[in-house]
Structure 1
């Protein structure tokens, strides 16, 4: 049995090698008869298989099979041509009987019938199948982005599982590969038809010339019978294969190696083999050699019967009876699906991060269309983890009909926080200055930073670059916007599940600090509050070990989260200083002592914290003074830094956040001793 299995595993490889030998080695007419009959039987099996499959993917090896059968016919053509020209027009009983049956004593009629069959196959069936395959391939590829987005939408809605989504995505990829292969494979059949006419002419003309030279009697009759018979023996199987091609493409790709796919495909339909074997027997009535016919028919019928018995011997499949004794209902409607309360709970799931795309932007996201958006998101997640020490949750991508085709929407926890417009075939151009903004384009606003910009077409790209414009491709525009949104809302995204993941990761290198601090000194929820406050002010949390050590030192005595965060910031002073230092120098705006005293005098302390109770007039004075100083230095520094005393920092930051959320407020204790401070201004009343 093992030897038999080994042989069947390599039967296709051996068959292809045999075809190659057909092109070189002369074959006895007995073997030619066998191979011609085998060719017809194989074509008939393929035709029947194409009629029984329910969808193209069940016959996923068809494009490869089409190539092999075409090569097989060409090999037989060459062998039969050699036999016709060297054996006085005799190429076996099959060719002779077929030729005599069609010609019936009239050479002209036989040649006309042969020509009609060839033209019908080439101009009608093959041409139509080729066109259908081409259109199917194009529409399948065009529909891929929408299908993939629909799968993502079903997965996000909880209507399908992750395994089902993965299976559907694989099916879409296989369909694309299948129809793309069919588009190319159909060209083989067309070329085979043309080659058949060429071989027929060669057989007829060459045979007449050779016969005239050797003195064979009735040359025309002899060689025309052989030529027509040989041509039809090629064209009848080719016609069956062409019909199979049309059936497959009008009604994607293999999963296993070629030999395994052949075994699974052909041995899965026993009745196809039985019907094909019975049909082969009827060829005896037109004079085909009975020995070869009976042999091949017996093989097909016997194989079909054995496979049918194996199918019956298999254990009965699961009937779908549930534990309660009731048959499981097939879901036939939306209402039936939501009768299961678990499916209703699936609707309550909210994605941490989601980007919705209009229809026109789908090619930017779909990898099959050449989009690299997913790769860019992955690289951004990697960089953000290195910079900030936080792993961004997976970004869910889906298409949406509620937004314009050229729009995208960024959602956090199910709610939209940002939106932008994209022109796929344009570049976002940022002019060197307003005076130099001279190029033609569509006026817009850069979505991430709110800068005036223009959408510049591909034709204007070179000119814009020469004029000094900064050109940004559409994917980079979306990625930049997404990164800024995530940076601004990272403190909302960081949840306790992710904090537990971070703690488990730290346990691999320093389990003692985690076990000593969590939850003995601070709970996970308190750690979450501290980390969120750090992220809110763009302070990296990558050094979780130092953060836990600081919380372990002060957490027992101090329960005010704001104060705990201030101590953690001081422990991270090297990290904080590095973010705002250039050439070991930090340019700052200092806060006057009078303002600090005013703020400290308005602080009200409670049991679990404190708050700032400053009158409206004093707030207005502080904001006006801050605005004046920030406007004065904004051309000198990219991110203004205000320097305060440690005890005032947190209250002043909360005060100005309503007006200047992007200004960094640092205390003297948060600056590394190696950094040189340069004061550019002083906020005073």
Structure 2
């Protein structure tokens, strides 16, 4: 009710009565004869209104800020056509009296603008109509049509985007309502502009038809009713009609231009002049080139030297001014940065330390020298990032848990070609590579040598050579394994992560594994942790398995074994041995594949007896071997393992269950490639063949 009353009051105010008065005025001009003084005022008002509309479109920041423009375009078109009707009536009634019959404005345009020559007037009017109809109006109409179509097609997508932002909490209800209203207004505006452009085009056609009708009608009336000869009638009526047409066509051209400006505007925070100047005169390079071209043209004989050289000087001056302004701004910014660094704050802000100031340690880190940065920069076609992701995926699938992300950063403290691999912030590997070369690795048997930089494969310590890229085929024909720089780093990373996998597995990862297992075996997990075993014991068992290169993919078997043996012992070492027996087929398959026979190395019975006695005398369940015996045992095991590897077989030490854990720990650091198994870990379907016996 209040809104209705407010609308009624608005309609009674003088501001609300403007539109009805304008409509009545247009109807009066079409039906009632007007004195010449009124015609002069209306024509002047029409030109002024057209200028105001053009300037309003130029200084409007966004098209929607002048949403009434289509209506203004329609009203001004009707006003101009009404003036054409009123002036036509006056010209045809009083044109026989002379050039001043239709008022001073029409007389001035007919006499001053075209010099009193109706032939020149016809040409000028035709040119204006061509410019208005063929160039401005046609282009603006096409842009309006395309803009309206695209805006309406995009409207559902914009509405969905607003709803998505609202559901995501990025917008409030009020903001969403405002954006929906803006989208609706935009669609209405461009749809209205598409229709309004048709009025402008029709106005241009109407102006051309009115000109010819007035000339023909005026000559006929002057000769038939007022006794004028053809030359005099043509002189009087043609000048009056051309003056009338020019008075109407110039505002029409201005309004067509304003329509074109409106539909070609971009939504920005600047008006058109600021936007054009800011985008056209911000780069001095174009002005310098233009000045050079104008200068060359200005010194060519026969060319207008003054005009070309003057404009060349102006263009060069503007370009120089732009360069100086940019330089001054850059110097000010540089000086400001220097002052900020040199002048400390008089009252430095004291911030209380918090836990946020303690940086977290990256589980896996890769630091590279500055020459290796292109390897990890995807913008420079770096392949190392993809290789690292591949390593993580492969190891996660093989080991049975998610490998943490690798944090890659540059380190200027390293040599340019060096990289460093860290685990929990501690360096575990470092090497130098050559990104412009490839590594040719000697797998053990090659047929010749290649020229290059001799080195060692950082992953496995094999002899290698850094060769040029064009030597790749030659090296491969000799038996070398050739890999690029990214593969070298990725292989080294894979080998180190795999050998230190137990350090990457913690409580969080084990909880994820148990949660994943609970989806298929909920009761098993519920009875295992914490009813049967603490989570810490389960973590320790899984770490022991990874330490001995046993994957933990089969979590169901591991959990069932732990649940079964937890009633006998809570010792992680004993539980690890029990799990290994359950995973024996997996362990043997990883060592020997699907072969039916397993070659093994055994210990002399007397040596085993000595080691058992040493284990029984120890309090920490480790074998305390006499140093001389330990050195001899290590040397003998290493020789036997190397023979097996040379024969292409896995090196396996088979021993009693009581000694397996201690000997595995003993061999882990001195003989990395040796697998230590107990008799209980050999499946029934495997045949054992003793290839060597290590004695005292």
**Which bracket does the TM-score occupy, shorter chain normalised?**
0.5 to 0.7
Question: C-alpha offsets along residues 35-78 of structure 1, whole Å, 9 cap, x if unaligned?
Answer: 666669969836635999xxxxxxxxx89xx9xxxxxxxxxxxx
Asked if the contact 2:454/2:466 (under 8 Å) is kept, the reply is yes
Say whether 1:8 aligns with 2:209.
no
**Structure 1 CA distance for aligned equivalents of residues 611 and 605 of structure 2:** 10
1:351 aligns to what SS in structure 2? coil
Query: Within 5 A, what are the aligned runs for 1:23-42?
Result: 33-34=254-255
Change beyond 3 A, Cα 1:555–1:341: same
Q: Which residue of 2 aligns with 1:159?
A: none
**Structure 1 CA distance for aligned equivalents of residues 416 and 645 of structure 2:** 38
**Structure 2 CA distance for aligned equivalents of residues 472 and 402 of structure 1:** 27
Asked if the contact 2:459/2:495 (under 8 Å) is kept, the reply is yes
Query: Within 5 A, what are the aligned runs for 1:58-457?
Result: 113=307, 117=311, 339-342=351-354, 345-431=356-442, 436-457=447-468
Say whether 1:492 aligns with 2:503.
yes
Asked if the contact 2:562/2:579 (under 8 Å) is kept, the reply is yes
Say whether 1:535 aligns with 2:534.
no
Question: C-alpha offsets along residues 210-246 of structure 1, whole Å, 9 cap, x if unaligned?
Answer: xxxxxxxxxxxxxxxxxxxxxxxxxxxxxxxxx89x9
**Structure 2 CA distance for aligned equivalents of residues 338 and 347 of structure 1:** 17
Alpha-carbon shift at residue 493 of structure 1 (Å): 1.6
1:448 aligns to what SS in structure 2? coil
Of the candidates 518, 540, 561, which is equivalent to residue 572 of structure 2? Answer: 561
1:398 aligns to what SS in structure 2? strand
Asked if the contact 2:443/2:481 (under 8 Å) is kept, the reply is yes
**Structure 2 CA distance for aligned equivalents of residues 452 and 436 of structure 1:** 14
TM-score (norm 2): 0.54
Q: Which residue of 2 aligns with 1:134?
A: none
2:621 aligns to what SS in structure 1? strand
Change beyond 3 A, Cα 1:500–1:8: same
2:274 aligns to what SS in structure 1? helix
2:501 aligns to what SS in structure 1? helix
Q: Which residue of 2 aligns with 1:660?
A: 671
Of the candidates 579, 582, 590, which is equivalent to residue 602 of structure 2? Answer: 590
Of the candidates 274, 278, 284, which is equivalent to residue 48 of structure 1? Answer: 274
Q: How many residues align?
A: 430
Question: C-alpha offsets along residues 613-655 of structure 1, whole Å, 9 cap, x if unaligned?
Answer: 3322332332233233223322113541111222221122122
Alpha-carbon shift at residue 563 of structure 1 (Å): 1.5
**Structure 2 CA distance for aligned equivalents of residues 503 and 380 of structure 1:** 24
Change beyond 3 A, Cα 1:108–1:541: same
Change beyond 3 A, Cα 1:683–1:50: farther
Q: CA-atom RMSD, angstroms?
A: 4.4
Alpha-carbon shift at residue 507 of structure 1 (Å): 1.8
Of structures 1 and 2, the one scoring higher in RCO (CA 8 A, sep 6+) is 1
Question: C-alpha offsets along residues 430-472 of structure 1, whole Å, 9 cap, x if unaligned?
Answer: 2466763432212222111111211112233343344443211
Alpha-carbon shift at residue 359 of structure 1 (Å): 0.8
Q: Which residue of 2 aligns with 1:221?
A: none
Q: Which residue of 1 aligns with 2:512?
A: 501
Asked if the contact 2:446/2:479 (under 8 Å) is kept, the reply is no
Alpha-carbon shift at residue 516 of structure 1 (Å): 0.7
Question: C-alpha offsets along residues 257-305 of structure 1, whole Å, 9 cap, x if unaligned?
Answer: xxxxxxxxxxxxxxxxxxxxxxxxxxxxxxxxxxxxxxxxxxxxxxxxx
Q: Which residue of 2 aligns with 1:580?
A: 591
Of the candidates 516, 520, 544, which is equivalent to residue 531 of structure 2? Answer: 520
Bigger radius of gyration:
2
Q: Which residue of 2 aligns with 1:570?
A: 581
Q: Which residue of 1 aligns with 2:29?
A: none
Asked if the contact 2:370/2:416 (under 8 Å) is kept, the reply is yes
Query: Within 5 A, what are the aligned runs for 1:606-625?
Result: 610-625=621-636
**Structure 2 CA distance for aligned equivalents of residues 455 and 480 of structure 1:** 16
Asked if the contact 1:576/1:671 (under 8 Å) is kept, the reply is no
2:622 aligns to what SS in structure 1? strand
**Structure 2 CA distance for aligned equivalents of residues 336 and 530 of structure 1:** 53
**Structure 2 CA distance for aligned equivalents of residues 456 and 11 of structure 1:** 68
The gaps in structure 1 that reach 5 residues or longer are 20-25, 53-61, 67-106, 130-242, 252-331
Change beyond 3 A, Cα 1:452–1:621: closer
Change beyond 3 A, Cα 1:620–1:32: same
Alpha-carbon shift at residue 536 of structure 1 (Å): 0.8
Q: Which residue of 2 aligns with 1:631?
A: 642
Alpha-carbon shift at residue 409 of structure 1 (Å): 0.5
Asked if the contact 1:605/1:611 (under 8 Å) is kept, the reply is no
Change beyond 3 A, Cα 1:5–1:424: same
1:519 aligns to what SS in structure 2? helix
2:398 aligns to what SS in structure 1? helix
Question: C-alpha offsets along residues 476-508 of structure 1, whole Å, 9 cap, x if unaligned?
Answer: 111100000101111112121211222222222
